[in-house]
Structure 1
Amino acid sequence: MASISRRARKDGTTAWRVAYRDPGNPTPTSATFDTHEAADRFATMVDRLGGPAARRQLARLEDGSDGHTLAEVLEDYAARHRKLTPGTVDEYRRILTRSGLAEALGGIPVDLIVDDDVEAWVSARAGTISEETGDRIAPKTIKNEHGLLSTLLGHAVTRGWARSNPARGIELPEIELADPLVLTREQYEAIHQAMDPDYQALVQVLGSTGIRWGEATALQWRDITPGTPPQMVVRRAWKRGQKGAWRVEGLPKSKRSRRKFSIPQKLVDTLPDRGAPGALVFPNREGGAIAHSNFHQRKWVRACEAAGVTDPRPRIHDLRHYFASVMLAAGVPIHVVSERMGHDDISTTVKLYAFLTPEAQAAGLDDMEAMLI
């Protein structure tokens, strides 16, 4: 812990001395400043970064800087990317705070951030215990937070506020992909049967098309066209509004998420009475979007408990995995499944669902044996 003391110089002026110890060195180290503000700023860096890193930071500050902070870069980035919803920008601000990026790097001008600073943040973050779960922060969370940092630093380079992006190429904790929870047909039917009748059609759409919650609840009647067979178009999804509310209608997750495919007439027959072209297929009682949290607690959890599917209890998102499992078991090529689900890259589909295709692996073994002389 750095300490600050006031010292009188021989010429009558006042100096401020910051005393601290470097790790592994019992001898105190000190630095002297002309103002209390400068001493306090350096002491804060010592406590946050350690003596060596604080001295490097001080040297970079003395070399001069344009002074743009991460927070300022974020605001400029948001202003220049108008497709970002206010809710998304709010979430980016929250990420800077809860990830520790604002504390670790927020006081450092972006042109003075170096890879050592980013590596120190990654190391500290990997050792952080989540207050919600009691476990270490998940590697995927760190990857997402690092992605935002890299995006902002890259934007700073584009704007001429930094010479390079020190977040690029930083080694991150390895993400261990667990096999997704896949419902059996019996479990799916039991949950559907136990679901509030007003929402059974929504469960059917999620489980038989593989579209995401935000896409299903944003469907309008214009997106479902009669025919032989009928067609469904996914072209919008609910996104976060300000203060985290899911109330802003926008484009789906990515370009690959905007898709059109055939659906069974039997599925269309389960839908509510057809409304106006711009009306939601699955509205709440006020005609707006169904809130995920309310549906999860009041409908989904109760249906799972009534169906006896609780160990473990599936998520609503697991209906998407159910769809993939049914398609792959039926022999639908994995690239077609990938397109139907709106994955950006088929490798995502392969990584998620390769464990569902042991029959294909066995068939490959048979082909290999047939080639032997």
Structure 2
Amino acid sequence: MAWVIERHGAKGVGYMACYRDPEGAQRSAGSFATRRAAQRAAVREELKVNDGQWHDATLGKITFQTYVETVWLPSRHIEASTLAAYQSYLNRQFYPIFGAMAIGKILPSHIQDWVTTAAGNGLSAASIRKYHMMLHSVFKRAVRDKIITFNPCEETELPKVVAKHRRTLTPGEYRRLLDSIPDPHRLMIQVAIETGVRWGELIALRPSHLDLQHGTLTVSETIVEVPLRAAPNGQRLYVKAYPKDNEPRTMGLPPELLDQLQASIQHKGLGRDDLLFATRDGTPISRNTFRTRIWAPAVKASGVDFNVRIHDLRHAHASWLLAGGSDLRS
């Protein structure tokens, strides 16, 4: 039951509004000049407790960075690569602005100011939306934990993403590019364009994934590359026992590509569980190293006049299939 405590001090008589929180602890709703005002304040807080609407404002004093690092991040069941991306977003975008702020003091206007500043600094609309989605998740968890009463990201006005047309390699450009790839890596690029597999899936392929009798390739693993500081067990490149979308998939390969793969396996003396495409030491190929030392020089040497990413081979593969009348859903 709400009650009032009368206090006598140097400035005269004052009245403190009292009530009990959901845990039964005594709380103050403030000090007032009249008993009636104090009683009303105490009753208001007591009604919030009874209706389940009461909020402990002191919880919102935790800083944004402390909450993220002690509550939000540990609660996320995510891959090491995703964790590394989140930490990068936080360090570059959010900790410098919100890190030392009490999470309960961060308002929608603060979020909107970040969006406006980020856009003014040249951050793309797509990146702003991606970062904002993560920020929204932080505050959503804080609302669920009753740290704050509302999500300040809820009504943010975000810039519109304008889709950009991206050129696709033509078969002729691909052949020129393939001819510019050094011999040790050429077969790997052929497999990439013929199958449309992702980079991590490509460098995780092993002889055991090939069924030479039926002419198929099964993608059942992927290799993830993360910064060393975020690497599990200190390994910057590590194998996951499933590819993206969590479902192994099997695809047919052209007979000539199968013959090339079989010849490569025999020439290298690979065992069933060795990597088909690896460094000289048999370790996974770093995407960043391959891009700077092999891919970029080959693109330049081929005369292809636009920036081609390794990932673009997937789009070229899909485009050629569609042009040939294939159904990508099958």
Match of 2:152 among 157, 166, 171: 166
User: What do the CA deviations read for 1:259-306 (whole angstroms, capped 9, x no partner)?
Assistant: 332222322222230633332111111211111222122211222232
Contact 2:83 2:230 in 1 (8 A): no
| Farther off after superposition, 145-154 or 243-252 | 243-252
**Residue 251 of structure 2 aligns to a residue in which SS?**
strand
Is the 1:91–1:244 contact (alpha carbons within 8 Å) kept by the matching residues of 2? no
Match for residue 112 of structure 1 among 96, 105, 109: 105
User: In the alignment, which residue of structure 1 is the partner of 2:251?
Assistant: 261
Corresponding residue for residue 326 of structure 1:
320
Post-superposition shift, 1:187? Answer: 0.8
Counterparts of 1:174-213 in structure 2, within 5 Å, are 174-213=160-199
Aligned partners of 1:263 and 1:107: how far apart in 2? Answer: 55
3-state SS of 1:335 partner: coil
For residues 104 and 319 of structure 1, the distance between their equivalents in structure 2, rounded to whole angstroms, comes to 39
Task: Point out the more displaced range, 115-124 or 163-172.
Answer: 163-172
The CA deviation at 1:325 is: 1.0
Shift of 1:186: 0.8
Cα distance in 2 between the residues matched to 1:253 and 1:165: 34
Deviation at 1:200, TM superposition (A): 0.7
Question: Counterpart amino acid of 1:262?
Answer: G
Structure 1 residue 209, shift from structure 2 partner = 1.2
Unmatched runs of 5 consecutive residues or more in structure 2: 1-56
- Residue in 1 that maps onto 2:281: 286
Q: Which runs of 4+ in 1 moved over 4 A?
A: 251-254
Query: Residue 282 of structure 1 contacts residue 290 of structure 1 at CA under 8 Å; is this kept in 2?
Result: yes
How far the C-alpha of 1:91 sits from its partner, in A, is 3.4
- Note if contact 1:207-1:323 (Cα within 8 Å) is conserved in structure 2: yes
* Deviation of the 1:82 alpha carbon: 4.7
Tell me whether 1:84 sits opposite 2:70 in the alignment.
no
**Which runs of structure 2 are paired with 1:142-157 in the superposition (5 Å)?**
142-157=128-143
**In the alignment, is the contact (CA less than 8 A) between 2:201 and 2:219 conserved in 1?**
no
Amino acid at match of 1:140: A
SS in 2 for 1:273: helix
Q: Tell me how far 1:253 sits from its aligned partner.
A: 6.9
Measure, in 1, the Cα distance between the counterparts of 2:208 and 2:152. Answer: 47
> Secondary structure, in 3 states, of the residue corresponding to 1:249?
strand
8 A contact 1:194–1:306 mirrored in 2: yes
> May I ask how many residue pairs the two structures share in their alignment?
265
What is the aligned partner in structure 2 of residue 345 from structure 1? none
CA contact (8 A) 1:180 1:321 kept: no
Contact 1:88 1:241 in 2 (8 A): no
- Structure 1 residue 298 corresponds to structure 2 residue 304: no
CA shift in 2, pair 1:80/1:278, >3 Å: farther
Greater Rg by CA: 2
RMSD: 2.6
TM-score, length-scaled by structure 2: 0.71
> What is the alpha-carbon distance in structure 2 between the residues aligned to residue 250 and residue 157 of structure 1?
34
Please say if residues 215 and 255 of structure 2, whose CA atoms lie closer than 8 Å, have aligned partners that are also in contact.
yes
Tell me the percent identity: 25
CA–CA distance in structure 1, aligned partners of residues 248 and 152 of structure 2 = 34
TM-score (norm 1): 0.64
Give the Cα separation in 1 of the matches to 2:275 and 2:180.
24
Checking the alignment, whether the CA contact within 8 Å between 2:195 and 2:317 is kept in structure 1 is yes
In structure 1, the residue corresponding to 2:114 is in which secondary structure?
A: helix
| Aligned residue number for residue 94 of structure 1 | 88
Contact 1:73–1:155 (8 Å) recurs in 2: no
Residue 225 of structure 1 is matched in structure 2 by: 211
Q: How far 1:196 sits from its partner (Å)?
A: 0.6
SS in 1 for 2:162: coil
- Show the counterpart of 1:74: 68
Q: Corresponding residue for 1:30?
A: none
Q: CA deviation at 1:224?
A: 2.5
Question: Which secondary structure does the structure 1 equivalent of 2:61 belong to?
Answer: coil
